[in-house]
């Protein structure tokens, strides 16, 4: 081999090395730019500013003698949400089902209890897996908040 051939192969090798690196970096940038990043909350600044109110709601909930319970009914395979307040008082609010892995599956259900303070929520349309249930409810203008995690098999 001549000295000229060795130099030209060396130059091509460097060109392919740098070209491969640039192509690799561009593919990473393209891959990251098309990813769908979902925030946990859309209005997280607004929620953060009002977090002291949330702490107060949780404190009031923790001071209740009976706690809110969410159980799977063996008969209907629905969730039974049992509220820890007196039966003769009207309960209003929202039950939010939050799926951390996919925000598109999140949904809210208005609170509509029976005479025993129990609400049944169907599970047929819910995807299997991990869910957080956030319950905001009001009784006699006093707000409460409870959060539980559930697993649907």
Per-residue tens of pLDDT for the chain, all 153 residues: 556 555 567 788 889 999 999 999 999 999 998 887 666 667 777 777 778 888 899 999 888 888 888 887 777 778 888 888 665 678 899 999 988 888 888 899 999 988 888 888 888 888 888 889 999 999 888 899 999 988 887
Q: Please name the CATH architecture into which domain 44-152 falls.
A: Sandwich (2.60)
Q: Going by C-beta distance under 8 Å and a sequence separation of 6 or more, which residues neighbour residue 121? A: 78, 79, 81, 95, 97, 109
For residue 3, the model assigns a pLDDT of: 60
Element containing residue 8 per DSSP (H, E): helix 3-33
If one counts every other C-beta atom within 10 angstroms of the C-beta of residue 82, the result is: 15
What does the domain layout of the chain look like in residue ranges? 1-35, 44-152
For residue 86, the model assigns a pLDDT of: 60
Q: Rounded CA gap, 131 and 99, in Å? A: 5
Q: Are 118 and 83 in contact (CB under 8 A)?
A: yes
Q: Are 58 and 145 in contact (CB under 8 A)?
A: yes
Q: Which residue is it, tokens 């409810």?
A: 137
Q: Rounded CA gap, 133 and 107, in Å? A: 10
Q: Are 153 and 128 in contact (CB under 8 A)?
A: yes
Q: Are 100 and 132 in contact (CB under 8 A)?
A: yes
For residue 109, the model assigns a pLDDT of: 92
For residue 108, the model assigns a pLDDT of: 92
For residue 27, the model assigns a pLDDT of: 96
């Amino acid at each position: 081999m001549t000295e000229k051939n060795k130099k030209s192969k060396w130059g091509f090798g460097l060109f392919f090395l740098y070209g491969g690196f640039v192509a690799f970096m561009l593919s990473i940038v393209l891959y990251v730019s098309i990813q769908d990043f979902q925030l946990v909350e859309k209005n997280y600044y607004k929620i953060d500013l009002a977090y002291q109110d949330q702490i107060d709601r949780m404190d009031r909930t923790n001071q209740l003698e009976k706690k809110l319970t969410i159980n799977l009914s063996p008969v209907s395979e629905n969730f039974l949400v049992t509220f820890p307040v007196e039966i003769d008082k009207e309960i209003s609010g929202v039950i939010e089902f939050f799926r951390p892995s996919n925000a598109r599956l999140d949904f809210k259900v208005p609170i509509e209890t029976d005479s025993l303070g129990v609400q049944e929520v169907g599970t047929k349309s819910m995807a299997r897996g991990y869910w957080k249930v956030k319950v905001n409810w009001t009784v006699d203008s006093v707000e409460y908040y409870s959060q539980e995690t559930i697993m649907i098999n």
